[in-house]
A and B are shown apart, each in its own frame.
Chain A
Amino acid sequence: MFPNSTILGPLFWIVMGGLYTISFTGFYYWITDSIIKMNWWKWLLSILWFLGLNITIAGGFTLFGEKEIRAGFWFLSVFGGVFIVLGVGLWRLLTSR
């Protein structure tokens, strides 16, 4: 990812790891403080959605990196669109009583 540097690569992944931890713990505390009642399948669906979204973003940008700009654009648009719709549906499911 950073061919001209030996330090930027590890630093990038340290920052990414930190961001993941913050987003997971932030989401956990926010959801337990809110009125949303979570159970095991709601957690499972939320994690699956989050993983799917991450794979979409990672896949799309990997294609950009491979100079497959067109493929990356289609990948991000199609799967990104699907995950936005699924995200709205999931949010409705989490907030339904």
Chain B
Amino acid sequence: MMMKKKYRDLIIVSGIAVMIILAAVYGKRRDAETQKELIEAFFPSSQYHIERVNGNKWKLSSSNLLYSGNIYIGEGKGYNGAVSIMVQTDHQGRISQLNIIANHETPSYFQKLKINNFLKTASQVKIGDYVSGEPIDAVSGATITSRAIMQGIRNGNTKGENIAVSNSFHPSFGILEFIIVALLIAGLILQVIKNRKIRRTIRWTSLIVSFAMLGFVYNQPITLSRIVAILNGHFPDIRYEFYFYLLLGGSIMAIIFTKKNIYCRSICPFSAAQEILAKTGRAKTFHTKYYRRLKYLQWGFTLGAILLALVLNNPGAAQYEVFGAFFQLTGTVILFVVLFIVVILSLFIYRPWCNFMCPMDGVFAYVRMIRNMISK
């Protein structure tokens, strides 16, 4: 019986891994073809003469030879993966056109950039000014996407012109990182303390800090789109997003060493929100004989979303969490409807999102499955 279970787990774990790898490979091939078509669409050969200088720079001239300039293509690290930027400059380095040719960002972030005229402001600066850093301010609420665009401009220019730049990879350790380390330590302490009163105090302090800071102030929970971006080979920029490595790494390590999912239990800001709602409405745990089946459905849905996002090479497609809608009031109408239902249900059922809908539960269950399989 034990052997049978072991083999079953092995088949599930390796089967999921194979599916993820195949979906990622297919998605990458599909995206490369689409990107090439996109570049050609901007400068049709009937009107422009384009000469490739290197992988990041093209010389551009109009067919009647009245105009000449350069095109630079570079990549920046966005929230859900690479943001490809195409910059057209005149011979003096003034930006005449700035286009985002490929990205996997959540549309609401781009909406914020549009409202703040970010692309217009970014194109009013000379391309050379991007070499030394970020010449304009990032848009609040879409900081990572704004930085990715500036990084993409710099990347295209420096690589295209062979300008040597010193890339510092030193992560910055700020308030957010400090909070995450404190929350991880508190989560681990909860595993060893026996006194119920102290446990309750630590857990509720963690939840409230997470609710306020990770939720409302920084809005940085672990999302499925970020997991998909990593599976796709797009790792977040460690200089600006060191907190993410701490949060994900710490949560996975906790599962490996203690078998406990401390992230969902005491760190996730939305689980904190549901705990508060459960306290308000005296919510009860939902007991059903179909619990196991509902759990498989939840995990199956997570796997489906991951595979779909990888095939489409768009991590944003996997984002069906309601965190953004709850903490920042950003998201699609469907997400707001789901959020409304979840909030009302949370008053009467104990943590319905965590128990039956959250994709992160599936991700951590997969990690736990691998851990248990290896330990056996």
Instruction: List chain A positions with a Cβ less than 8 A from chain B.
Output: 77-78, 81, 84-85, 88-89, 92
10 contacts between A and B (CB under 8 A): A77-B340, A78-B329, A81-B340, A81-B343, A85-B277, A85-B280, A85-B343, A85-B347, A89-B281, A92-B282
- Known A-B contacts: A88-B281, A88-B347. Give 12 more (CB < 8 A): A77-B336, A77-B340, A78-B329, A81-B343, A81-B344, A84-B343, A84-B347, A85-B277, A85-B280, A85-B343, A88-B280, A89-B281
Within 8 Å CB of A89, what residues of B? 280-281
Category for how many chain B residues contact A? 10 to 19
Q: Contact between B340 and A92 (Cβ–Cβ < 8 Å)?
A: no
A78: chain B residues at CB < 8 Å are: 329
Write out the residue numbers on chain B whose beta carbons fall within 8 Å of the beta carbon of A92: 280-282
User: Count the A-B residue pairs with Cβ separation under 8 angstroms: how many?
Assistant: 21
Q: How far is the CB of A58 from chain B (nearest CB, A)?
A: 20
- Find chain A residues with CB under 8 A from B336 CB: 77
For residue A77, which residues in chain B have a CB less than 8 angstroms away from its CB? 336, 340
Contacts of B343 in A (CB 8 A): 81, 84-85
Contact, CB under 8 Å: B344 / A84:
yes
* Residue ID in chain A nearest B280 by CB atoms: A89
Interface residues of B in 260-316 (CB under 8 A from A): 277, 280-282
Question: Min CB distance, A35 to chain B, in Å?
Answer: 17
B72 CB → nearest A CB, Å: 39
A82 to chain B: closest residue by CB: B343
Q: Considering the chains assembled together, what is the distance between the CA atoms of A78 and B343 in angstroms?
A: 11
Once bound together, how far apart are the Cα atoms of A81 and B329, in whole Å?
Answer: 13
**Can you list the 5 inter-chain pairs with the closest CB atoms, starting with the nearest?**
A89-B280, A88-B281, A88-B347, A81-B340, A81-B343
Which of chain B's residues has its CB closest to A95's CB?
Answer: B282
Docked Cα-Cα span, A78 to B344, in Å, equals: 12
B78-125 residues at the A interface, CB under 8 angstroms = none
Give the contacts of B317-348 with A (CB-CB under 8 A): 329, 336, 340, 343-344, 347
Task: For B347, list chain A residues within 8 Å (CB).
Answer: 84-85, 88
Cα-based distance from A89 to B348 in the complex (angstroms): 12
